[in-house]
Amino acid sequence: MAKLYESLSAELCDFVRAQPMFFVATAPRQGRVNMSPKGMDTFRVLGERRVAYLDLTGSGSETAAHLRDNGRITIMFCGFGQQARVLRIYGHGRAVRPGTSGWEALRSHFGPEQRPAERQIIDVAVASVLTSCGYGVPRFDSIQPRDTFARYWEQHGTEAVGQMWRDLNSESIDGLPTGISDSEPE
């Protein structure tokens, strides 16, 4: 049965940490709803009412645009292993970028190794947590992490990161600004 919590308990944190992937959903006041799968050990529980994930450069930046618009975010974890459970974190988020106030403190939670094409950290204040049974979620075995992302950026180099930010990450598909460029204040 579904159960609503005000924060993440130790037991819920253990469930979250055990999941190899998660999904992020955001929506602007006007425009498309976006949902993205994430993985690569980029999620951290920072406290019972605060979580964050290291967002790596990709072909779009819908989350950042939507958070600038209204801040609403939902993060979902599914128990694909033995434990059947779905857990949703509802909250208010913001994008924190390299070189801005708060970046170093947040980045320290993700270990010393630099990941290719680090774009921003999505910092989320948890408003509530909802669990449900997950009985309809199939079981899957995680074979191994993909190395495609790292290989892509090793091949294309850091100049390609800036080009992607300019070409594909400066605004959402609905034309909302993401704040990725230096000229746009947060």
Question: Residue 53: pLDDT above 80?
Answer: yes
Question: Which pLDDT tens digit goes with each residue over 58-86?
Answer: 999 999 999 999 999 999 999 999 999 99
Contact 120, 24 (CB under 8 A): no
- pLDDT score of 138: 95
In this prediction the pTM is: 0.94
Whole-number Å distance between alpha carbons of 85 and 100: 37
Beta bridge partners of 93: 124
Q: Which two tokens stand for residue 10?
A: 């130790």
Q: Which two tokens stand for residue 186?
A: 């947060």
Q: What band does 183 get if pLDDT is binned at 50, 70 and 90? A: very low
- 106: CB partners within 8 A, 6+ apart: 52, 96, 121, 123
As a whole number, mean pLDDT of residues 23-36 equals 97
Question: Residue 182: pLDDT above 60?
Answer: no
As a whole number, mean pLDDT of residues 147-152 equals 94
What structural domains and CATH numbers belong to the chain? 3-135+144-168 (2.30.110.10)
Whole-number Å distance between alpha carbons of 25 and 132: 17
CB crowding 25-36: b at 16 or more within 10 Å, else e? bbbbeebeebee
As a whole number, mean pLDDT of residues 152-162 equals 92
What is each CA distance from 113 to 54, 65, 158, 160, in whole angstroms? 12, 27, 16, 20
How remote is the C-alpha of 44 from its chain's centroid? 10
54 CB neighbour count, 10 Å cutoff: 21
